[in-house]
Amino acid sequence: MNRDGPMRITVRLFLSVRVGRFHTKTFDYPAGSTVAQVAGDLSLPAGEVGLILVNDRQADFEHQLADGDTVALFPVVGGG
């Protein structure tokens, strides 16, 4: 694994987060990138994200990604 080279990050978007974006896409990110950078690149306001999963485990915006990670982003839904 190349620790300093770009990381391959797969991004999965759910529900409304997909709209105007994509379902699943893989990107190159610089080593040390965080989930916040992924969200920023998607123009995703922090307040809209309810749940972040990295490799199916709960994470936060500050989570540092590793090569081959999958980031899943879910919106906040509160209606009834």
Give the C-alpha separation, 73 to 52, whole Å. 5
Instruction: Tell whether residue 11 is a contact of other proteins (CB under 8 A).
Output: no
> What's the half-sphere exposure (Cβ side, CA atoms, 13 Å) at 50?
9
Position among 6, 32, 41, 48 found at the interface with other proteins (CB under 8 A): 48
Instruction: Tell whether residue 1 is a contact of other proteins (CB under 8 A).
Output: no
Stretch that binds other proteins, among 1-9, 26-34, 72-80 (CB under 8 A): 72-80
CB-count burial class (<10 Å; 0-12, 13-18, 19+) for 17? buried
Q: Which amino acid is at 15?
A: L
Position among 28, 41, 64, 68 found at the interface with other proteins (CB under 8 A): 64
Residues that bind other proteins (CB under 8 A): 14-16, 18-19, 23, 46-61, 63-64, 72, 74-80
